[in-house]
Amino acid sequence: MTTTTTDGPTAAAGQVTVLGLGDMGSAIARTLVDRGYRTTVWNRTASKSAPLVDAGATAAATAAEAVAASPLVVVCLLDSTAVDEVLGSVDAAIAGKVLVNLTSGSPSQARANERWARERGAEYLDGKIMRDPPYVGTPNIMFPFSGSRSAFEAHESTLQVLGSIAYHGEDAGLAAVEFMAQVAVAYELLIGFLHALRLVQAEGVDVAEFAERIAGSVVAYPPLLLSIGKAVKSGECPPDLGSLNVQAALMDDMISHRESIGVEAMRMRQVKELMDDRIAGGHGEQGFSSLFELLAKRR
Ligand code: NDP
């Protein structure tokens, strides 16, 4: 995987088409206009192109007309249903273009889009967006890409204008894999955090002050994440956070404490179940990372 960051205005900017002018598509088109790209825009609700036209973009009457205007076509729509509808209306006009789809979606949708483009003589890059519209055009927004390597290399300097970028490989689904995994980690972490806030509030502790202390203690997590990643890759799971035998001894107290103050204990019960399962299998001397072994079969 290669990662690069935005490097300021591009001197010899080219032509780009942007399909979709919601909050994100508008931020992308606006950034391209501001960096000197000859930008053609199209949106289902045509009125949304007005601010961009005022800024210097050209509005096309149809998606196919917009696609015809530029060698590089960026799509940023609500979801895959919208992408299918818009690309359906473009159809053969995509031949010879590089199609960059930044719409959120699954790996299988990305792979289907890649086939669609290839069958029509276009190159396909799938990209995902990992932050909000105000960060577009800064290094503080990440765009993972996957798909055509030659398309990525040919348009890397343009893509860098949007933010920090990383190329994950020729399989068009890999950017979506990265996106979904990153989003999943965020949700899992944050729902755990919300449970902890519920717990401390139930005990009369100030939740904002507790949040400050947690913000201070999460700096210890990056080394732990790296060592867990290595442990899972090697299959050797040393007693990170102590052995499972020791960790499991705490779980009943964790669960009963939550239940005694009326806080949902479902997540702790799941952790305990996994630890007990591992210990019963003779792996009690291993660490937390060894729970990984049980996660594939629990669908
Ligand atoms: P918006 O709701 O602001 O815009 C949605 C866009 O999709 C509009 O251009 C809308 O057109 C178009 N659209 C919806 N359905 C259709 C359809 N059937 N046919 C044609 N066009 C359609 O969403 P965002 O711009 O915020 O998001 C765009 C993508 O970016 C999403 O996939 C989102 O997950 C992703 N993203 C957004 C982030 C954010 O914070 N906003 C952060 C990270 C990713 P119309 O104007 O006519 O309704």
Residue 86 Cβ < 6 Å to ligand 1: yes
Res 2: pLDDT: 61
The CA dihedral of 215, 221, 222, 228, to the nearest 10 degrees, is -160
Task: Please state, in angstroms and rounded to a whole number, the distance separating the CA atoms of residues 41 and 27.
Answer: 12
Res 4: pLDDT: 54
Residue 104 Cβ < 6 Å to ligand 1: yes
What's the CATH fold of domain 2-177? Rossmann fold (3.40.50)
Amino acid at 167: Y
Closest-lying ligand 1 atom to the alpha carbon of residue 25: 25
Closest C-alpha residue for ligand 1 atom 4: 22
CATH superfamily of the domain spanning 206-298: N-(1-d-carboxylethyl)-l-norvaline Dehydrogenase; domain 2 (1.10.1040.10)
Residue 23 Cβ < 6 Å to ligand 1: yes
Q: How far is the CA of 104 from the centre of ligand 1 (A)?
A: 9
Res 151: pLDDT: 98
Beta strands across the sheet bearing 142-147: 2-4, 164-167, 142-147, 123-127, 98-101, 72-75, 15-19, 38-42, 58-59
Domain extents in the chain? 2-177, 206-298
Closest-lying ligand 1 atom to the alpha carbon of residue 26: 25
Mutating to test ligand 1, I would choose from 17, 24, 81, 128 the residue with most ligand atoms within 8 A of its C-beta, which is 24
Res 51: pLDDT: 98
The candidate with the shortest Cα–Cα distance to 132, out of 22, 214, 45, is 22
32: enclosing H helix or E strand? helix 23-34
Instruction: Please enumerate in sequence order all residues whose Cβ is within 8 A of that of 191, keeping only pairs 6 or more positions apart, or say none.
Output: 267
The DSSP secondary-structure symbol of 168 reads -
Identical fold, 2-177 and 206-298: no
Low-confidence stretches of the chain (pLDDT < 70) are 1-13, 297-299
Res 7: pLDDT: 45
